[in-house]
Structure 1
């Protein structure tokens, strides 16, 4: 199967979810079976990012897995266990670039910079629930964040960004021209977690501003550029919430039709948005260290 078809495969799955009115980043697990968490590699401890978060969240929810810890076939063997016979893995990917041989030769002869070509490489992972005989270190229960502590962490994150963060009014927004975030008081939200989800969505826009990640935020309401930015902020909030132990929710469900149009028109759009969201979430989550 070609690398290009991987874009199409994943995009088709996301489109199907959106057409059914489901957002793959909103409660992408059964809380009674799987706690709120970002997917990670059980052997290396490394968290997955970008489109792989959505792929693995969907696989975990669809199969009723009890965790978001994953291994390759070889990692399962190296850990003293194995993937159970008959289990079907989940395909994830990573993006890379390479320089074709003829392009390298041309650049060398002309003293110019070689042009690179982007490609996707796919590999297959299995959930811990699909494995047996693994060492205790891998199968030990994950320590879950306390909901109260998660809210405390979110408060610290907001403060550590150094953003001009204003509480008041009736609307939540980021004003790029003046570079500030405004969110209504917590009393305006049904649940405390809703306030934090909204705040992190708006900070998802803020972190894309000038002097930070420098995303294109010039799109007007209803444009594709605006839809891309909203999708990126939505995913940034979801990824940051999950990393903190707050269940992701949706800030702008009324944009589903616009997102569908965007993703149908460009099979790489959801990949780009998820990649940008991972960068933004990482930026926000590292704010405390940035100020040390």
Structure 2
């Protein structure tokens, strides 16, 4: 029975993503102009931890569909723990937690198998709750656009990526380990340049010396589409955290993504998880850079 439930989770979520793509909506690019909330990753209002992986897509989708003005979420119990409650009749959003269990038949063996499974639970936007502390329900004001560029520039430098400006194409060259992007002035909307850079940095994180991300035989002919999907979502997640409005870099990839998701119902989970890992790697670069500088100054 548990196996059937796990399969249903993967199938139902993937079917939802497929429907959105076929309708022309890219779920990892939150349509901020149609939503009331500012640009941000969804966060747990009680712990302030950002959600990751597939949960980002699920919660962004709910923000758009229901018109919430905040990206803050709570479980039913967390709302009560904060002195509030979920309003009667409100419907929550399903999110997922990945875990593993050991079958009883193998609990005494030397190397018991740890079987992965997905646990589902329900969260509610703080706007679906009442009597919460004022600090919890107040929406986070987005940064003014003039502050976006310095944040992005600083993060780009801190990654340590070799980013070269020139030409008319954007790409990551894995053998030489560098990124090439056209000059920012060549973009009709210059803010799009940052989205492109973080897309290529997403590819850069997959190098063997970093996250060593390979899809190999699992995706076969779809491996390229899978990597592009990871890079695209990495850029979207990073831009959301920087409060830069993400957009689709290449709309013509949608057909390839649809083929991939229809061929493998777990692909969106794998790609979203890999993108979250890549985004976390990018944001942790400032810590790594500080460590390197500390060692250098001590030498």
1:193 aligns with 2:191: yes
Q: What stretches of structure 2 of length at least 5 have no aligned partner?
A: 291-299
The CA deviation at 1:174 is: 0.4
The CA deviation at 1:235 is: 0.2
Paired position in structure 2 for 1:99: 102
- Give the distance between the partners of 1:161 and 1:63, measured in 2 at CA: 36
Structure 1 window deviating more from structure 2 (138-147 vs 43-52): it is 138-147
Are the aligned partners of 2:152 and 2:194 in contact in 1 as well (CA < 8 Å)? yes
Are the aligned partners of 2:102 and 2:115 in contact in 1 as well (CA < 8 Å)? yes
| Structure 2 length-normalised TM | 0.91
Cα displacement string for residues 134-191 of structure 1 (whole angstroms, at most 9, x for unaligned residues): 1123123324223222211110111111111101000000011111100000011111
Paired position in structure 2 for 1:20: 23
The CA deviation at 1:32 is: 5.9
Are the aligned partners of 2:35 and 2:64 in contact in 1 as well (CA < 8 Å)? no
**Structure 1 residues 218 and 3 mapped into 2: Cα distance closer, same or farther (>3 Å)?**
closer
Instruction: Give aligned pairs, total.
Output: 285
Q: Secondary structure at the match of 2:91?
A: coil
The structure 2 residue matched to 1:117, chosen from 115, 118, 124, is 115
Q: Secondary structure at the match of 2:119?
A: strand
Q: What stretches of structure 1 of length at least 5 have no aligned partner?
A: none
1:179 aligns with 2:177: yes
Q: Secondary structure at the match of 1:192?
A: coil
Paired position in structure 1 for 2:124: 126
Are the aligned partners of 2:30 and 2:64 in contact in 1 as well (CA < 8 Å)? no
Question: In the TM superposition, what are the counterparts of 1:46-57 in structure 2 within 5 Å?
Answer: 46-57=49-60
The CA deviation at 1:34 is: 0.9
Cα displacement string for residues 65-91 of structure 1 (whole angstroms, at most 9, x for unaligned residues): 111100011111111111111000000
Question: In the TM superposition, what are the counterparts of 1:143-292 in structure 2 within 5 Å?
Answer: 143-216=141-214, 223-292=221-290
Are the aligned partners of 2:38 and 2:140 in contact in 1 as well (CA < 8 Å)? no
The CA deviation at 1:104 is: 2.7
Are the aligned partners of 2:163 and 2:178 in contact in 1 as well (CA < 8 Å)? yes
Are the aligned partners of 2:100 and 2:117 in contact in 1 as well (CA < 8 Å)? yes
- Give the distance between the partners of 1:217 and 1:266, measured in 2 at CA: 13
The CA deviation at 1:31 is: 5.5
Are the aligned partners of 2:71 and 2:125 in contact in 1 as well (CA < 8 Å)? yes
| Structure 1 length-normalised TM | 0.94
Structure 1 window deviating more from structure 2 (29-38 vs 60-69): it is 29-38
Are the aligned partners of 1:95 and 1:121 in contact in 2 as well (CA < 8 Å)? yes
1:135 aligns with 2:133: yes
Q: Secondary structure at the match of 1:114?
A: coil
